[in-house]
Amino acid sequence: MLMRLLLLVALAVAAAAAAAAETEQRATYIVHMAKSAMPAEYADHGEWYGASLRSVSTGRAAAAKMLYSYDTVLHGFSARLTEQEASDMAGMDGVLAVNPETRYELHTTRTPEFLGLAGSEGLFPQSGTGGDVVVGVLDTGVWPESKSYDDAGLGEVPSSWKGTCMAGTDFNSSACNRKLIGARFFNRGYEAAMGPMDTSRESRSPRDDDGHGTHTSSTAAGAAVADADLFGFASGTARGMAPKARVAVYKVCWLGGCFSSDILAGMDAAVADGCGVLSLSLGGGSADYARDSVAIGAFAAMEQNVLVSCSAGNAGPGSATLSNVAPWITTVGAGTLDRDFPAYVQLGNGKNYTGVSLYAGKAPPSTPTPLIYAGNASNSTSGNLCMPGTLSPEKVQGKIVVCDRGISARVQKGFVVRDAGGAGMVLANTAANGQELVADAHLLPAAGVGEKEGTAIKSYIASESKPTATIVVAGTQVDVRPSPLVAAFSSRGPNMITPEILKPDIIGPGVNILAAWTGKAGPTGLAADTRRVNFNIISGTSMSCPHVSGLAALLRSAHPEWSPAAVRSALMTTAYSTYTGGAGSPILDAATGAAATPFDYGAGHVDPTRAVEPGLVYDLGTSDYVDFLCALKYTPNMIAALARSKSYGCAANKTYAVANLNYPSFSVAYSTANGEAGDSGATTVTHTRTLTNVGAAGTYKVDASVSMSGVTVDVKPAKLEFTAAGEKKSYTVTFTAAKSQPSGTAGFGRLVWSDGKHTVASPIAITWT
């Protein structure tokens, strides 16, 4: 009897354990496999992957489900696994790594003129040459009916193209043409994590329901469209950076975000399809390269001669806020244009304050209107932010409401004011945004103002018993100076993953950018906005990234023999960090009004007309990046997960140093933790670089300086003579610190090689940590 009772108890415990195991939550994991380790009994890698997956879920009522099999940017697959299954998988032979999925977020015309591209068509080959380049954009999809994808004047699709135009909801394969030559969508990771999509809100197809993807792809390589504007603002001809390049879109971002299993599937397809440039305006913070899906995919793309350009992030102006910092990725921050959309706030005391607005509705009253601060019109502690439901209608009815910027979307605050009966809105920056102004297509009369102006307006309200104001929207203004400024939202260095690699690499136009838009959403992107437009003006490093992606396509068409690293080098070493003309004062930071630094802009603002003939480049290849990983003490499995092969390794008899990576910039990170410098004497750090001549024969001389007291720079040799194209010359740079500095101390400088015609410049950043 006792034995029977114990048996029943054991069976009950086992059943409970099995039930608990089956209800254990599954999540998506990326499984990296060693291709060469496939057992001989399997006919192909897909069969091996499936068998490996089944082996960890045998005996379970619900077997682990595979989402994607990857063949190009990594060897392996993604699957829905429990923690136990993931742990079991990681211990299997042939498995290099099992990484949990990451959720990424989007980093959300006059630009050709501002960049000096107008009338410069002769510098770059046209479509139909051997340099015909395809720009692959991984984003929210495409609105193919936009005129930005008109293929007039383009030749046949390159014979090397292997892509396709996937049909789906409201999207036929006939939507593609000789401009938009490919369109795919990837949603398995999204739906596995978030559940079935709401097809009334988003399309299970490449169609763009959001607008972001259409904006970025048309910015990179959209055709020229005359008479483009947003409600009359920024009117003119809109064109992408590489208007003769081809476009392929890979929809990997959805309403719930961008999931790494889908992103990797998109990158896998884009590289296999034949894209020469990949543009990703998304990010998920910084992670070790072996666990960063975008970095992993970008490494394989680089190996196959594909340049990958990514947005730096919109987490500025705080320091160390960058995304996408792998050295084989071109990391792009954002700057302003020389175009603005001024609006004026005229107070009852006669004071006028300048802001910005894209409001185009019924003209606001020309007579003074009562003015109130949102913090005084709410019982909520967050009433000053004009959050939904926080304003008292009886207090704001018929008045202009001053709302503080932050937390909720800028345009949403206007909806809150309008719904409460307000007549208009002044959106006031706080210290987080400083004097940076981003224009919005508000649905009520509104103007955004800087922190100083906002403080003055709120002081006026506090000092007057019956404050009033008038809002005047003034249209489009060009030739604004100084420009560019580093956008306040643009994420900043230093690079917290590898401080010895300076990031961002470069900045490009990212504020108030006009480009094509979806027909499914209004210009604000909010559900309540029923307006529909062909073009929209938005801001973010999401906008600066496709500018650089398109410029990279131009350089690849002009120099098809250049590697991705050579293209990036050309863009970086010809960038500018001071304003042209006058005394050459440094580029300013919109957040502070003070001089910006290489932690803000990297090498500087892109200058494509100079980049096409850089003179010299810093080149890099796969073996150089593997040496870099060896310097970081990566294990063989970590390197194999990135390089997709165990043939790469770190030699025991070789010394590796991050400072020897042939990067077009210099970052010196001294440490105070080890007692360096100070009483122990001077500390030196030596960097080695190699320059490749891509121009005519010439003699280059160097000039190097830093702004940090007690640090000297010595370059040897100080002169390099090149007699032929393709010739390589190496040099060393020794940075010597005479004494220790407090942690957080930073100094900057510049190293410039010049032959009198070409200027090959590299930024220098020196920090104490």
Tell me if residue 139 is catalytic: yes
Q: What is the DSSP letter of 35?
A: G
Contact assessment for residue 504 and residue 489, using Cβ atoms and an 8 Å cutoff: no
Q: What is the DSSP letter of 223?
A: P
Contact assessment for residue 561 and residue 592, using Cβ atoms and an 8 Å cutoff: no
Q: What is the DSSP letter of 533?
A: -
CB atoms within 10 A of CB 683: 20
Query: Strand ranges (DSSP E) for 239-393?
Result: 246-251, 253-254, 257-259, 277-280, 282-283, 307-311, 330-335, 339-340, 342-347, 352-356, 369-373
Contact assessment for residue 751 and residue 762, using Cβ atoms and an 8 Å cutoff: yes
Helix pair 541-558, 564-573: axis angle to 10 deg? 110
Among 127, 378, 539, 542, the one annotated catalytic: 542
Question: Strands 485-486 and 477-478, how do they pair?
Answer: unpaired
Question: Strands 277-280 and 134-139, how do they pair?
Answer: parallel
Contact assessment for residue 490 and residue 334, using Cβ atoms and an 8 Å cutoff: yes
According to DSSP, the residues that pair with 217 across neighbouring strands are none
CB atoms within 10 A of CB 681: 10
Per DSSP, the residues of 255-274 read TTEEEHHHHHHHHHHHHHHT
Q: Which helix (H) or strand (E) holds 456?
A: helix 451-463
Query: Strand ranges (DSSP E) for 121-216?
Result: 134-139, 180-185
Among 132, 139, 292, 404, the one annotated catalytic: 139
Among 212, 547, 559, 758, the one annotated catalytic: 212
Q: Which two tokens stand for residue 534?
A: 């062909």
Give 3-state DSSP helix, strand, coil % of the chain, rounded to 5: 25, 30, 45
Helix pair 293-303, 636-643: axis angle to 10 deg? 70
Q: What is the DSSP letter of 148?
A: G
Residue found by looking up tokens 């993931």 in the block: 86
Is the bond into 317 cis (omega within 30 degrees of 0)? yes
Tell me if residue 293 is catalytic: no
Spell out the residues 6+ positions from residue 526 whose beta carbon is closer than 8 angstroms to its own.
409, 411, 412, 415
Tell me if residue 542 is catalytic: yes
Q: What is the DSSP letter of 291?
A: G
Catalytically active residues are 139, 212, 542
